[in-house]
Each structure stands twice: as C-alpha cells, then as structure tokens.
Structure 1
Amino acid sequence: MANQFQSQFDKQKVKSLTLRTESITCRRQRLKSLKTWILNNKDKIRKALHADLRKSETETDITEIFTVTTEINDALSHLHQWARPQHVSPGMTYLGTSARIKPEPKGVCLIIAPWNFPFNLIGSPLASCLAAGNTAILKPSEHTPATSKLIKEMVEDVFEPELVTVIEGAVPETTALLELPFDHIFFTGSTNVGKIVMGAAAKNLSSVTLELGGKSPVIIDETASADDAARKIVWGRFNNNGQTCIAPDYIFISDIVKDKFVASAKKYVSQLFDSNNEGMAHTKDYSRLVNANHASRLVDMLEEAKQSGAKIEFGGDHSTEDRFIEPTLLSNIDESNRIWQEEIFGPIMPMKVYEDINDVIHHINKNDKPLSLYLFTTSRKMKKHITQATSAGTMVINDVVVQYAHPNLPFGGVNHSGIGKSHGKYGFMEFSNQKSVLSQRIGLTNALLFYPPFNGFKKWVVSFMIKWF
C-alpha cells in the first residue's frame, strides 16, 4: 500500500517543482475551476451531506458550501497581494543591502479531514493550499462515505492527479500516507489523533497545521442578556447536532440569570430547530449524529451524569438506532463525570452555577487550553479581565462560533487545541515558506567590520553596536 502511495507522491513532487515558477494567474484559474464545480454541483453536495449527517439543504449551504466559496473568493481577491514579496528595512547594521520576504510554495501537502464538516474542512484548506502554489493529496473521512465519494469525483473532474488527488480509506491508508515525507500536513480532528499525526510528521520533519478541539467554555455573568445569550448558544451548540469543534461545550453561569437563560434556551430550541412543531425526532432542520457508536457514547455519558444527580433542564430523549439525541441542557453536574471532563461533540450541554469568577478562571487555566472561549457580559471590566487572565485559540464576546467565518481573523488553537492558523491570508501563509532573500552589494560592505583581524577600531564598533543597536 505504501508503495502505491509513494508513486503518487513522487509524481506530485515532480509537479510541485514546476509550480514554483508559474504565474499567480495559473493559481487563480485553479481556484476559479474549483469554485465553478462547486456552484454547478450544489445539489450533489447537499445530497451527500444529507446521506451522511442528514443535514438540511440550507444548513449544508451555510456550513459546508458557503464556507468554501468564501475562502476561494477571498483568495481570488487578495492572492496577488499575499504572494507579493515584502520588502523590509535593512536597519543600521545592514546599510547597503536590500532584503525582502518572498512567500514560496512548500511543495507536496497532505490534507486530512474529519467527518463533522466533511466538505468544508477539506475544501477550505485545499483552497489555501492551491492559492499558495502547492500540490495536495486529500484524505477525507471514512465515516462520511457519501461525501468522501463526492470529493473524489470533484477532484477527478477538476484537477489532474499530479496536482490534486484523493485517497479514500480508513486508518491503514492514513497511516501509510503519514509515512511519506510531505512538505506540509494539515490535519483537522481530535487531539489524540493530532498527537499521532505530529509524531509521524516529526520523523520526516514535515511542518504541520493541527486544528484540534477540546472543551470550549462559556461564561455568562450577572450583567449578560440571558435571552440573547440563550439564542446564540442554542444555535451554536445544537447546529450540526453539536458536532462542531468550536461549539460551546460547557457553561459557567451566574445564578442571577440562570432561570431566565434556561427558559429562553428551551424556547429557542423549538424556534430554531422545530419551527413547525413536528417534534425534534421528525423535524428536517435538526441533523443527526455521524453513527450509532458515537450516539451510544453520548448516551452513556448522559446516563452517567443522570445517575450522579444531574438535572435535565430540557431534552434527554434519544434513539441510538436513529443516531438521535434531543437537544439537552443539564445542571447540577458532578465534575468527575465524563460529560464535564471530555469533549462532548454532541447535543448535550452541561451547566454549572458559579459564585466567584476567579474559580471559573482557575478551572479554565488548570485544564488544556481551549480552541474557543465565549463570554457573555456587558461589563467592560469583565471583558478585560477574562481576556487577559485566560488563554484560548479564539475568544468571542457576546456570541459563539461566528469567529470561524471571519475573513480577516486567524483561526486555530493553542497547544492541545491546535498548532498553526488557517483562513484567508493566514491559511495562505501556513501553506507557504516565508523565504528571506538578502541582496548584498559587491565590494565594501558593513559586514567587513566583523572580519578578522580584530583591531581596536573594530572592537570599539562591536562594543558600540552591542550597546546601541
């Protein structure tokens, strides 16, 4: 199997060398071709996502198609600017030289995508990869076979295999791919698998972008609008059945606003996901868990919490056979429960009342740094305090999840929640090597001051520079 992939890798290696000297116009044309295919095949994309996750057409348009086309559009609008060499000042030390930073393609890249947003999370990094002038081998998730098949069809229609190709399969195929000396690996998935990917990359000294996950906390203080917070959190948590890496995972809430928040959250679950009062098990606006195994894991976590005294504020119904769990809010959580310790990745949201905000900060800081942190407050003092006292890949005040789609913000985690950044210019930079280019004049240069022999004047110059430069 590895030999089969080696052949494909070698072809892309040869191709990647030719891409280094091509024009930016060629990169733009590839992005345009990718966008055209997506726009012409929206129905196919919708059907694939419905087959895998029972996503509605509009949800697919927003969370899968729109996110990729906006990434492409951003690159088309700014690629010439991103790729332009950046001239830098020589400073006093290097007078007489000229220097610039030239983004260059890294080469052959591997993009490994997860199953929760299977089209978005392969299409968006692919756009950045192509914008930077690389070749790519794509590994979609085996847990969403309809979308995986569609991605393979898309790539074969749009690109020659020496430029972009798709490898389907499961763990054996991924393991074999990770043995190859890629110039860059872009992985989206769990922290545990991210460690495996990074370990494999280290053997070849491949650079990596790891978009991982973890538990993203929410803080709702006594000054917050409970109704506004409820609407935003319900959408961000239960959209895609809670299978979102940046979804609010657990809530710390002030007792002053708790009851109003619970009442509003229950109201918005119905308004947003069951507006026709068909029941959550029957509405078309509420997607499904990826498979029965994942559903069983979540049900086990829910039952453990209930047995430990957790209170179901609303929801709780489930059917593992139908991959269904009703949007569920829990309170009175035992912190030893898995639902408080592990990333949930489903439509269950635990909540605890807090009295001292410093206890909340201590809890966040003693655990792995989250991919996102959400704060609902109207207090300027609280905003400043939480921003400075905690660390997270991204932070949002008075909203959730929306930071992902911001075109001018880097997206990524910290330590256990990720390494590297993506989206827009930051995605382009991630797939590029920032090559320093220095041009020196011929003859007399400042550098000659540092050549031996070191006489008194040269020693004086070095002492002067150490003190003042």
Structure 2
Amino acid sequence: MVATVVQMTESKTQIQHTHRVFENQKKAFRNNPMPSSSERKENLKRLKRALLANQDRLLEAIDRDFSCRSKDESLIAEVMPSIQGINYTLKNLDSWMKPSKRHVSVLFQPASNKVHYQPKGVVGVIVPWNYPLYLAVGPLVASLAAGNRTMVKMSEFTPHTSSLFKEIIEGMFPEDLVSVITGEADVAADFSRRPFDHLLFTGSTSVGKLVMRAAAENLTPVTLELGGKSPAVVSPDVPLSDAAQRIAFGKAINAGQTCVAPDYVLCPEDRVQAFVDEFRAQASTMYPSLRDNDDYTAIINERQYDRLQSYLEDARAKGAEVIEINPANENMKDGTRKIPLTLVLNATEDMKVMQDEIFGPILPIVTYTDLDDAIHYINERPRPLALYFFGYDRAQQEHIIDQTHSGGMCINDALMHVAQDDLPFGGVGDSGMGHYHGKEGFMTFSHQRAIFSKQKFNSGKFVYAPHGTAAHKMIYKLFIR
C-alpha cells in the first residue's frame, strides 16, 4: 500500500513536470520558429559528443537493465547506428533544408512555386525497452535536424538506461530544447495526451492503438513503429548454410527482442530437416555456450520471460516439436532469464507462437510446397514490419517484391535494412504508419509548406468576374481539354 502511494505521488510529480516542460518548449519554439542550419548542426554535434563521451556508461546501463546484454550487440545495434545517423544527417542537412522548386502551369504565370520545410514545433517521442538508446536517439536526431523542440519519454522497464540518458541530455541541452521524461505507464499515457505537433511511438500494436486514440483527441499527427510477425522465406534452391546463418544472426541478436527479428520461417517441406540441422550448426558456432556467455543476451524481465515460456508450453501441449539449441547442455532455468534459441516444428494456427509477435528467441518453421503458397500465406495475414527472402534467383526475388507487402525488406540478409542511412524505416497496416531515418526522418518532422508567389503583374485578373467575356472563353478553350 505504501509503495502504491509513493508511486502515485511520483507519477503525479512527473506528470506535472511533463506539462510544465511542454509549455516551456512551446513558448521557446514560438520565440525561435526557424532555427538556422548552423544551430541545428551544433545541436547534433553536441548530442554526438555526449554519446561518445558516455558510451561506456551507456553500455553498462543497458547491460544492467537486461541483467546480461552483450556489449558488442549494444555497440553494433545502438551506439554505432546512432553515431552514423548523426554523421549522415550532418552531411546532408543543408541540402534537405533547401526549398524545393515546383512546376507552375502556364495558366498561372508569371509566378513561382516552392516547398519550404518548416519545423513542426514540439515533438514527442515514446521509446520502448528493447533498444532504449537507438530508439531514443534516432527520432531525436531527425527531430533536431528538422528544427524542433523534443520531449523523449523513456521506458520504465529500462530504469538504468533511462536515468542515465536523462542525466546526459540534461547536461547537454536546455530543458526547453530537449527533455527526457521518465516514469511509469500512467506517465506515458498522459504524455501521449499532450497536444504535440508530432508524436512518434515505437512499441506493440496494442499500445500503438491506444497512443493513436489519445493523439486523435488533439489531431496530433503520429508515426507508429509497431511490429508484427515478420517472415523469413527460404527459397527452394538457396544454399541452406547461407540462409540458416543469416536467419540465426537476425533471431539471436538481443535474444530475438527486436521488432524486425524473423518471427517465423517459411521453408520448403522437403528441406525442413536440412534447415534445422544447418540452423543448429550455425547457432552453435555463434553461441557455443549460453548461461555465462556475455555474448548471449537475457530476456528483459520476468514478465517477458514467463510469457515466452508459456508460448513454448502451449506449443508442446498442442503437438509441436520443440527443439532447444543448447550446445553445452547447460541448466537454463536457474534464474538467468536466458532462453536458448528454440525451433518450433509442426506449428499450427491455434498456437500462441503463430498468433502473437514472439519477441524472443523462439522460431517456428512453417512448410510450403511452392513459392506462391508461401506468398499466399504471407498475404493472408496482417502486413509485417519486415520480410526476409533468401534465394539468389533474381526472378524469384522480384516475384516476392512485387507480390507481397511489408514495412521493409531484406534479400539474403536480416535486420540490416534498418541500419541503412538512406532508406526509410517504417511499417504498413498493423505494423505501423509513417517513416523516419535519414531524409525521411527530416521530412516526417518538417511541415512541407507550399508557397505560391507572384509579383506586380497579375495574370489571375483575366478570370475575375464579370464572367462570360471573350478572355474567359479563350481561357476555357485553351485549358479545359
């Protein structure tokens, strides 16, 4: 009871703080609605300096939040793409900021058309727990590049990282430019109800619906980066060592706690056993042991661990063959919160592993007879955030590209489309809406303001009333045909 009262008091304080910061950022934006290129670049450089100066502390904080998170994985998947994203933005910001010229019809000459890219104002970012640094920094970089003020709500499930990131940001930026908000779910819910000029949420589809509903009350535009069940399609003729190695990498990093992790494999029915053998061999090479191996990440908390275990119990109870890849045959149920990479064969639609996004190191294998069967299987289901195709036949590649939908796609790789600076990242349908990264991030957080401009000579007067003149008739004859 005492703990509940304390939490309620802390949440109330955080919510009041959020409201105050929001109003201060709105006021600050009104006082400087169009920051110069040099201001924006300096903000990005300050962020980069802060990340580089604190990278060891950030790696340690993330590791503590997960109880075991590979520091190399955090470097690869959090620090490196954050720094590279800043570098790419600094290199291209001037060209992105330039107004773009647009065509003017003869009917409206002499005049000019341009699109100016204006900051939207105050941007809200809601960060998930699975990549707490990268999924805070990526949107922040895009928002600062576009000239906005930004409020970042960190996840309550990564308290060490959230607290440290708040400390770093507060030491580098004034509160009315960038502010980090911490707190429990009720703080996040209130955060989503603020009348931001744009709101970006990364997380589950179910919570994404709540965020969008809250934003709708203020007509706040949203970018939703959700998830879903991203398939990996193994072609009938790809070398299985290649496909298995790359799928194992994509599934094992962060122990599958990745929104674009391969969620299930579509494999030709006559290649399943060979794929299982190759996957086991490749995974065992990467992770010859698990329990005390710092390269293999733990599940974030007991709640998620229990959820994943319940998926496996459900699959076993319903007749699936469950294959744990535990090369050293270690005891994995002694509080480590580590789950071995686990294949699920004979998965059926009534199993939880085939209904919900797995978000862990469990990989069902679904069989198909020909490639069109696999395409049909994908298209019958909600559109995924990512789709992975493994096969070197160019015609097959184009067929998959043309006949399926997904937020993004890799051919003969997994996850790596997310790290491409010049590719947009985003979902479609159940996996989200909107894009960011690179130029698309700048565009998402900018208002594309259309400006039609003319000077002293006014050609428009030829269509003014009174109507029915010879000039009107000639204009109609020329332009309505």
Equivalent pairs, count:
462
**1:382 to partner: Cα distance:** 1.7
The more displaced of 176-185 and 104-113 is: 176-185
Paired residue for 1:142, among 138, 144, 156?
A: 156
Residue 340 of structure 2 corresponds to which residue in structure 1?
326
**Equivalent residue, structure 1, for 2:427:** 413
Equivalent residue, structure 1, for 2:294: 284
Any idea what SS the aligned residue of 1:324 has? coil
Conservation of the 8 A alpha-carbon contact between 2:101 and 2:114: yes
2:465 to 445, 452, 461: 452
Contact kept, 8 Å, 2:34 with 2:147, in 1: the verdict is no
* 1:36-82 deviation per Cα after TM superposition (whole angstroms, max 9, x unaligned): 11111111011001101222221111111011111111111111111
What is the CA–CA distance in structure 2 between the aligned matches of 1:147 and 1:455, rounded to whole Å? 71
**Structure 1 residue aligned with 2:388, among 349, 361, 374?**
374
* Aligned residue number for residue 7 of structure 2: none
- Look up the match of 2:8: none
* Paired position in structure 2 for 1:384: 398
1:138 to partner: Cα distance: 0.8
Output aligned runs, 1:47-446, within 5 Å: 47-53=60-66, 54-274=68-288, 279-315=289-325, 318-319=332-333, 321-445=335-459
**2:407–2:426 contact (8 Å) kept in structure 1:** yes
Distance, in Å, in 1 between the alignment partners of 2:268 and 2:228 is 23
Distance 1:93 1:223 in 2: 58
| CA deviations over 1:287-335 (Å, ceiling 9, x no partner) | 0111011111111111111121211244387538322111111111122
Change (3 A) 1:93 1:170: farther
Aligned residue type for 2:349? E
Q: Partners in 1 of 2:140 and 2:224 — Cα distance?
A: 15
Distance, in Å, in 2 between the alignment partners of 1:364 and 1:70 is: 33
Q: Deviations over 1:94-153 (max 9, x none)?
A: 221111111110001111000000011001111111111111111000001111011101
Q: Which one is further off, 172-181 or 426-435?
A: 172-181
The aligned amino acid for 1:12 is Q
**What amino acid is the match of 1:160?**
P
- Structure 1 runs, 4 residues or longer, greater than 4 Å off: none
Residue pair 1:292, 1:321 contacting (<8 A) in 2 also: no
CA distance in 2, matches of 1:459, 1:313: 79
Q: Does 1:25 align with 2:38?
A: yes
Letter in 1 for 2:29: S
Q: 1:216 touches 1:373 (CA, 8 Å); kept in 2?
A: yes
Residue aligned with 1:223, SS: coil
Counterpart-to-counterpart distance in 1, 2:294 and 2:192: 39
Contact kept in structure 2, 1:222 and 1:255, CA below 8 Å: no
* SS of structure 2 residue aligned to 1:99: strand
Q: What's the counterpart of residue 53 of structure 2?
A: 40
Cα RMSD for the two superposed structures: 1.6
Partners of 1:227 and 1:260 within 8 A in 2: no
Q: Which letter maps to 1:284?
A: D
Q: CA distance change for structure 1 residues 234 and 13 in 2, over 3 Å: closer, same or farther?
A: same
CA contact (8 A) 2:425 2:435 kept: yes
| TM-score scaled by length of structure 1 | 0.95
Q: Is the 8 A contact 1:19 1:133 kept in 2?
A: no
**Is this contact kept in 2: 1:137–1:165, CA < 8 A?**
yes
- On the 8 A contact 1:111/1:187 being kept in 2, the answer is yes
**In structure 2, distance between residues paired with 1:329 and 1:148:** 33
CA drift at 1:260: 2.6
Q: Is the 8 A contact 1:299 1:318 kept in 2?
A: no
Equivalent position amino acid for 1:185 in 2: L
1:416 Cα deviation after fit: 1.1
Separation in 1, partners of 2:412, 2:255: 22
Percentage of matched positions with identical amino acids:
38
C-alpha displacement of 1:449: 3.5
TM-superposed CA distance for 1:368, in Å, is 1.0
CA apart distance, 1:367: 1.4
Deviation at 1:179, TM superposition (A): 2.2
Shift of 1:272: 1.5
Residues 413-443 of structure 1, C-alpha deviations (whole Å, 9 max, x = no match): 0021111101111111111111111111223
Give the aligned residue type for 2:420. Answer: H
Give TM-score, length-normalised by structure 2.
0.93
CA distance in 2, matches of 1:459, 1:415: 48
For residues 94 and 155 of structure 1, the distance between their equivalents in structure 2, rounded to whole angstroms, comes to 49
Provide, for residues 248-296 of structure 1, a one-character-per-residue CA deviation record: whole Å limited to 9, x for no partner. Answer: 100110134333321121111122223xxxx212211000111011111
Partners of 1:318 and 1:464 lie apart in 2 by 79
| Residues 66, 225 of structure 1: alpha-carbon distance in 2 compared, 3 angstrom cutoff | same
Q: Distance in 2 between matches of 1:320 and 1:442?
A: 81
Question: Letter of the aligned partner of 1:296 in structure 2?
Answer: D
Contact 2:284/2:325 (CA < 8 Å) preserved in 1? no
Structure 1's unaligned 5+ residue stretches are: none
